[in-house]
Amino acid sequence: MSIKQLSIAAILLSQPLLANEKLISYLPTWREANVVAQFGPQLGKLNYGILSFIEVNANGEAFLSPTAKAGAELWQSHFAKARKTSNFNCMWAIGGWTGSKNIAKTAQTEAGRAKLVKSAIGIMRSSQCVGLDLDWEHPVTGGDYAADASAADLQNWVSLLRDLRQGLDAAGKADKQKYVLSIAVPANNGGWVMQGYDLKNALPVLDWVNLMAYDRSGGWSKTATLQASLHSVPNDPDGQILSSSKAVDYFIAQGAKPSQLMLGVPFYVRGLGNVEAGPNGDGLVQSMNGPGLKDEPEAGVASWADFQTKYAKATGWKAYRSAESGNSPYLYHAGKKELISYDDPASLAEKVKFVKQNKLGGIMIWELTQDDAQATLLNSLVKQLK
């Protein structure tokens, strides 16, 4: 190495290192044009935007519904500008909770998988995106399509991922382009739903894993716990399973590299109904039944933006934090017997700190358009990740 090279190296080493963590958000294709126009300019703050969702027809072919196609075009009008000012790229997600129909049936045969792989890559290429994210909810346990599920899904999920990897690599070689493959899976420390995921055999073919570290409580719950806590909620009977930090340990024990794991965060709130106040008067880990926030279009769910205008400072709601679970905020209304669980800039800061300390791959957001007009949550993540 020459003196000049040594000098350059010394200068580079003296500079602060840029954050290596990725920032990813799913991009809903069902949102209105004015909403996409509001959040499109924020795309340059992301590494990847994952268009959602590609579906699968009864013949095993990937397709876009008319809504998804039109919505993707709205987002794509902002991609060129984002790419000019940052390293932003787009991907497509396959499936989702309501869009996983026919995946289990298609994945049963080599011919079915080949058809799905070819057609999904075709959509990705035509959209000028650089990867696919398999969001099959859920192999073995079935999700919204339990009648299609079987024990064979465990192997078929891995086979589909291997075929996607092979197809993406072949397409990348032809296009002189690196195409990436990720998955979206629940961020649980084992438990019932994780029986469908053979992580040890899937992880070697994946670029990363989007950990869905949210929806741990809702109208279906019997105990009022926090929907996205970093650590276990004290006295939660399911706390050993419903914990992001314990889930990370679980995935690493299954063979994941820390850098493969993207910690998911919600830009929405969950409302829980008929929550008993309990001895502390805050409703946490008390019995419950059904959703709260019944006036919302989807009972029990509100965006961060709507939460700020409707509930955060409304009369009757008292604010609390669970320091033990990761500085997680929640509200309780004793009169309504409702609890609202969410993330805010303070709890997101704890999650970014955890990501950095454990050398994880970054943060995944569900999803960008649920932020407020000032992009409060997004900007807090961008600031903390620097």
C-alpha span between 311 and 325 (Å, rounded): 22
Q: Are 326 and 230 in contact (CB under 8 A)?
A: yes
CA 137 to chain centre: 13
Q: Are 69 and 76 in contact (CB under 8 A)?
A: no
Q: Of 21, 137, 350, 367, which is the active-site residue?
A: 137
Neighbouring-strand partners of residue 331: 319, 340
Q: Are 30 and 370 in contact (CB under 8 A)?
A: no
Establish whether the linkage from the previous residue to 53 is cis, with ω within 30° of 0.
yes
- Write out the H or E segment, with its range, that includes residue 270: strand 268-272
Classify each residue of 89-121 as buried b or exposed e, where b means 16 or more C-beta atoms within 10 Å of its C-beta. Answer: bbbbbbbbeebbbbbbbbbbeeebbebbbebbb
276 is an active site residue: no
Q: 3-state SS of the chain: helix, strand, coil percent to 5?
A: 40, 20, 40
Handedness of CA 74, 76, 77, 79 (dihedral sign): positive
Q: Are 49 and 80 in contact (CB under 8 A)?
A: no
What 3 state SS string does 279-297 have? CCCCCCCCECCCECCCCCC
- Angle in degrees, 0-180, between the axes of helices 153-175 and 110-126, rounded to the nearest 10: 40
Active site residues: 137
